[in-house]
Amino acid sequence: MRRPIIAGNWKMNNTASEAVELVKQLKPLVKDANCDVVVCVPAIDIPVVKKAIYGSKIRLGAQNVHFAEKGAYTGEISANMLKEYGVQYVIIGHSERRQYFGETDETVNKRTLAALAAGLTPIVCIGESLEEREGGLTEKVLDRQIGLDFQGVEDFSKIVIAYEPIWAIGTGRTATDEQANETIGYIRKRMKRVYAGKKVGRMRIQYGGSMNAKNCKGLMAQPEIDGGLIGGASLKAADFATIVNFDK
């Protein structure tokens, strides 16, 4: 069985003191979680959040990682730097990074391999834009991302995929339960074909895109959906906790 994983993507929100306050509120609310609980925080918040989550079920995640081990890459952070601070998960290839920061399938692939090599669990984001969905290109886009983003990965049980239709991110417009389930089912089927023999069956696939305290139960009840990557709703302790406790 695949253990559900609920991850918050704080994006560029929360100063260090705000981060500590949010985690303080969150801790008691998620103490009985039956899933993996992760907060992916801005890099500069990592040290304080590491301390703040101590003794709780919350695990630490980052929002990006560079692919080189070290060197002349001004402004970047390596997998080993994250690792030394107790980071266990890292979001890679979020659509905002693809859209605003020149992330490509090639760099997503390199970052994914670097994260794995350092023992971090990548949460790799894939998904189609509104134009692509309306143009009937969803599967074609996913096929491209599946083919390029994961080249060289040998063990998919160590990877999490976040299926995030771009039109649902931060828009309040969620994919329906059935749409999300069907597309995630497609991703799993396709990956099993492309990466046969590499433990794809044990890989968890999250849904992301305006998942919130209200719609989480319906989405999480779908058989293909193994969790959520939560943006806006992860910034309020009560809302995020409701999602984490989706099974209660």
Which residues make up the interface to ligand PGA (CB under 6 A)? 9, 164, 169-170, 208-211, 229-233
CB neighbourhood size of 158 (10 A): 16
DSSP category for residue 128:
-
- Going by C-alpha positions, the residue among 132, 224, 242, 123 that lies closest to residue 179 is 224
Which one, 6 or 198, has the nearer CB to ligand PGA? 6
From the CB of 198, what's the least distance to ligand PGA, in Å? Answer: 25
Which one, 64 or 210, has the nearer CB to ligand PGA? 210
- d(CA 85, CA 81) in angstroms, rounded, equals 7
- d(CA 26, CA 238) in angstroms, rounded, equals 7
Q: What is the 3-state secondary structure (H, E, C) of 206-236?
A: EEECCCCCCCHHHHHCCCCCCEEEECHHHHC
From the CB of 72, what's the least distance to ligand PGA, in Å? Answer: 30
Active site residue 94: yes
- d(CA 126, CA 46) in angstroms, rounded, equals 25
Phi, psi values for residue 76, rounded to 5°: -100, 165
- Nearest residue to ligand PGA, by Cβ distance, number only: 231
Active site residue 66: no
Which one, 127 or 195, has the nearer CB to ligand PGA? 127
Q: 200: exposed, middle or buried (C-beta count within 10 Å: 0-12, 13-18, 19+)? A: buried
User: In the structure encoding, which two tokens stand for residue 182, read together?
Assistant: 């069907």
- d(CA 73, CA 66) in angstroms, rounded, equals 9
From the CB of 55, what's the least distance to ligand PGA, in Å? Answer: 27
From the CB of 160, what's the least distance to ligand PGA, in Å? Answer: 12
One of 96, 103, 132, 164 is an active-site residue; which one? 164
From the CB of 234, what's the least distance to ligand PGA, in Å? Answer: 7
- d(CA 15, CA 134) in angstroms, rounded, equals 38
Active site residues: 94, 164
